[in-house]
Amino acid sequence: MSDAVAAAGAPAHVEHAGHEEPGFLRTYIFSTDHKMIGRQFLFLGLFMMVLGGLFALLVRWELAWPETAVPGFGWVPEPYMFGGIIPPDFYNSLFTMHATLMIFFVIMPILVGCFGNFLIPLMIGARDMAFPVLNMLSFWVGALAGVIMLSSFLVQGGAAAAGWTSYAPLAAQPIYTGVNWGQNLWCISLIILGISSLMGSINYITTIINMRAPGMTLFRLPLVIWSLFIVAILLLLALPVLTSALAMLLFDRTLGTSFFLPAGGGEPLLWQHLFWFFGHPEVYILILPAMGIASDILSTFARKPIFGYRSMAYAMIAIAFLSWIVWGHHMFVSGMNPALGTSFMLSTMVIAVPSAIKTFNWLGTLWGGKIRFTVPMLHALAFVSMFVIGGLSGIFMASTPVDIFIHDTYYIVAHIHYVVFGGSVFGIFAAITYWFPKLFGRMMNEALGKVHWLLSFIAFNCTFFPMHILGVGGHMRRIYNPTQYQFLLPLQPINVFITLSALLLGLSQLIFVVNFFASLFGWNAGWFRSGARVLAAAVAGYFPVGYLGRSSALAWGLFAVIFAAVFWFLRGMDAFGATASRNPWNANTLEWQADSPPPHGNWGPTLPTVYRGPYEYSSPEVPEDYLPQARRLAGAAAPAH
């Protein structure tokens, strides 16, 4: 990576230094600055997370107390809800849109859209992405896709209701679901979102290959950049398959074709093959950035190099390669040739190995460390432990005979939520709490963050672990009323427990919302600070009441105890939104050498030069326990990693 090429990277931004300040629109709305675009993706994702979470809570309400009115939802008009009661077709839309929003409009925008955009130029020492205007377009095209997706609720027939997996023929003919334009808009939205992601992928790959600062070799890249690089390639290759499948589905629905309709000579299983050929790389797209984030955060707060850096990078590459040949494990009982079940089982067993390697390397990173339990570290540790559970539960599904039994049961639901919530969402919390100072120039409140973490961790496990039990009992997915089945009646109390836990999990997120916005805007009025403490303590204290009921004296006794404990714990909490220094975590990677937040163009007149890898913590070369990548040591040549 020659200096000349690096210097030629983005000269336009350096020259901007003398121009007039761009107006509000160009700064906040139509910005081509990767940092602002990253923030835009973050807000899009967080907004959609609230909606997606709300849909999940409605689904959970129905499962625990079927055909009862949801409190506070009487205002929802027919035919969506009837006096607060969810009908079966709207229920199908709710879980469909829950998954669609969470996967496509929460995890991808936040992990790939926000942190990809924000971190890549900063961590490689570039001034911006290779194609800033394309970058801006990728956000607005993505936002358009979001608007289209949400608008699908408003058309006659309602929103898509065939599951996020949208199997044909159910999804291929309006008559089968009763949903007409809602499903079409679902297809169109995802096609458009695919375009947004493809634009992003092109940008990420080009930028990482071409715009690294002098000395930043590939094996000096932080693992989060490795993960985003690999994810960009996966997206580039997988999305066209999804887009094609969606187009074919749309044509079957609207133009009278028969790609998936047997009456016209089509093949229903073709949809599944196409969808899962995209779908399996997609789930690794969802988890890989969180793995990269966890690696960086664990290393930073254990004050130790990541254990086995090259193995970690190679493991991610192996996962990416293998992810193309395992898709059939979603289709073991689909009716495809059973011989394929055997071959896909083998590849699925094999893909577990690189994930296992990464887990052991994370443990190795902690061994012998000097561990600080900051909020980002807590979330990263939650990521590792919850991902282990999610990964281990996957082994049951990999074994085809066992999968015959647990396929399409709540065992699968447990697995997916342990990896996407326990994995990706805790990864998101880790990333937000870690890079908040760099994103917004302010610190999030540490004490409040710890309360949010603990409540989320407990409620998360109480919500999703029992789902394994439901699955073992044979409880199917996507059913509206479990009490319709005799063999499920003994499991119903577990459904109630799960719903109560889910409600508590939802409540706990209020604490994060308060922390996020209060820190962003520096709200420190006395009444507000007290109110925040009361909210956090009340949510924590509500846990026993949620489970034992409002008429239980014991519950209220416990409420009082927990309330007092949390209120006391928060007594010395810092001000919201304290100004962040350049490097509040004493971390090594390049972004911490820029201001918080970095100015347009990220670095001053000269780009940083990289002398070492990203994980030189507790290095014997210096007395401090960190050694930034761009710090030049007197008399030392740049050592090879």
Partner 1 sequence: MLRWLPEDVSTYGPEVDRLFYIIYYLTGVVFILVAACLVYFLVRYRHREGDGRRATYTHGSTTLEIVWTVIPSLILVVLFFMSRVTWARIKEAVPPAAVTVQLTAKQFNWEMVYPGPDGKFDTADDLKIDNELHVPVNQNVHVILQSRDVIHSFYLPNLRLRQDVVPGRQIVAWFNATAPGKYEIPCSQLCGFGHSGMRGWLFVHTPEDYRRWVEEHWPAPAASSPPPSKS
Minimum CB–partner distance for residue 410 and partner 1 (Å): 11
Report d(CA 101, CA 146) in Å as an integer. 9
Among 68, 254, 342, 530, binds partner 1 (CB under 8 A): 342
Nearer to partner 1, 440 or 453 (CB): 453
Minimum CB–partner distance for residue 156 and partner 1 (Å): 15
Under 8 Å between Cβ of 171 and 268: no
Residues of this chain, 397-436, that bind partner 1 according to CB under 8 A: 398-402, 404-405, 407-409
Residues of this chain, 585-614, that bind partner 1 according to CB under 8 A: none
Under 8 Å between Cβ of 409 and 471: yes
Interaction mask 175-194, partner 1, x per CB under 8 A: -xxx----------------
Nearer to partner 1, 215 or 305 (CB): 305
Tell whether residue 446 is a contact of partner 1 (CB under 8 A).
Answer: no
Among 54, 349, 633, 638, binds partner 1 (CB under 8 A): 349
Report residue 124 CA to chain centroid gap: 23
Residues of this chain, 127-186, that bind partner 1 according to CB under 8 A: 161-163, 167-170, 176-178
Among 625, 632, 636, 639, binds partner 1 (CB under 8 A): 625
Q: Cis omega (within 30 of 0) on the bond before 79? A: yes
Interaction mask 15-54, partner 1, x per CB under 8 A: ----------------------------------------
Tell whether residue 267 is a contact of partner 1 (CB under 8 A).
Answer: yes
Among 486, 571, 572, 605, binds partner 1 (CB under 8 A): 486
Tell whether residue 368 is a contact of partner 1 (CB under 8 A).
Answer: yes
Minimum CB–partner distance for residue 587 and partner 1 (Å): 14
Under 8 Å between Cβ of 468 and 414: yes
Tell whether residue 472 is a contact of partner 1 (CB under 8 A).
Answer: yes
Binding segment for partner 1 among 9-17, 223-231, 422-430, 469-477 (CB under 8 A)? Answer: 469-477
Under 8 Å between Cβ of 591 and 111: no
Under 8 Å between Cβ of 407 and 330: no
Tell whether residue 340 is a contact of partner 1 (CB under 8 A).
Answer: no
Q: Is 511 exposed, middle or buried (0-12, 13-18, 19+ CB in 10 A)?
A: buried
Binding segment for partner 1 among 51-59, 132-140, 149-157, 348-356 (CB under 8 A)? Answer: 348-356
Binding segment for partner 1 among 42-50, 71-79, 454-462, 482-490 (CB under 8 A)? Answer: 482-490
Cβ neighbours, 10 Å, residue 606: 9
CA atoms within 13 A on the CB side of 383: 31
Under 8 Å between Cβ of 405 and 474: yes
Among 24, 75, 367, 527, binds partner 1 (CB under 8 A): 367
* 409 φ, ψ (degrees, to nearest 5): -115, 180
Nearer to partner 1, 210 or 385 (CB): 385
Among 452, 468, 533, 612, binds partner 1 (CB under 8 A): 468
Among 70, 85, 325, 371, binds partner 1 (CB under 8 A): 371
Residue labelled with tokens 């090594």: 588
Nearer to partner 1, 337 or 551 (CB): 337
Q: Which of 492, 472, 389 is nearest to 64 (CA)?
A: 492
Q: Is the dihedral of CA 459, 42, 225, 289 positive or negative?
A: positive
Q: For the chain, what's the residue count?
A: 641
Report d(CA 456, CA 270) in Å as an integer. 40
Cβ neighbours, 10 Å, residue 230: 23
Nearer to partner 1, 356 or 554 (CB): 356
Binding segment for partner 1 among 73-81, 216-224, 231-239, 354-362 (CB under 8 A)? Answer: 354-362
Minimum CB–partner distance for residue 534 and partner 1 (Å): 31
How many residues make contact with partner 1 (CB under 8 A)?
98
Nearer to partner 1, 13 or 407 (CB): 407
Q: Which of 415, 396, 509 is nearest to 465 (CA)?
A: 415
Interaction mask 541-580, partner 1, x per CB under 8 A: ----------------------------------------
Q: Cis omega (within 30 of 0) on the bond before 281? A: no
Residues of this chain, 60-99, that bind partner 1 according to CB under 8 A: 87-89, 91-92
Nearer to partner 1, 420 or 494 (CB): 494
DSSP state string for 153-182: TSSTT-S--STTTT-TTTTTSHHHHS--HH
Residues of this chain, 278-307, that bind partner 1 according to CB under 8 A: 302-305, 307
> CA 29 → CA 39, 41, 140, 203, 432, distances in Å?
11, 12, 9, 20, 21
| Amino acid letter, residue 353 | V
Using alpha carbons only, how large is the chain's radius of gyration in Å?
A: 25
Nearer to partner 1, 411 or 421 (CB): 411
Report d(CA 634, CA 219) in Å as an integer. 23
Under 8 Å between Cβ of 438 and 444: no
Among 363, 560, 565, 636, binds partner 1 (CB under 8 A): 363
Nearer to partner 1, 15 or 621 (CB): 621
Give the three-class secondary structure for 265. Answer: coil
Among 72, 77, 256, 335, binds partner 1 (CB under 8 A): 335
Interaction mask 208-237, partner 1, x per CB under 8 A: ------------------------------
Under 8 Å between Cβ of 503 and 57: yes
Q: Which of 382, 385, 500, 518 is nearest to 446 (CA)?
A: 518
Nearer to partner 1, 383 or 559 (CB): 383
Among 17, 29, 50, 346, binds partner 1 (CB under 8 A): 346
For the chain, the straight-line distance linking the first and the last C-alpha, in angstroms and rounded, comes to 16
Tell whether residue 274 is a contact of partner 1 (CB under 8 A).
Answer: no
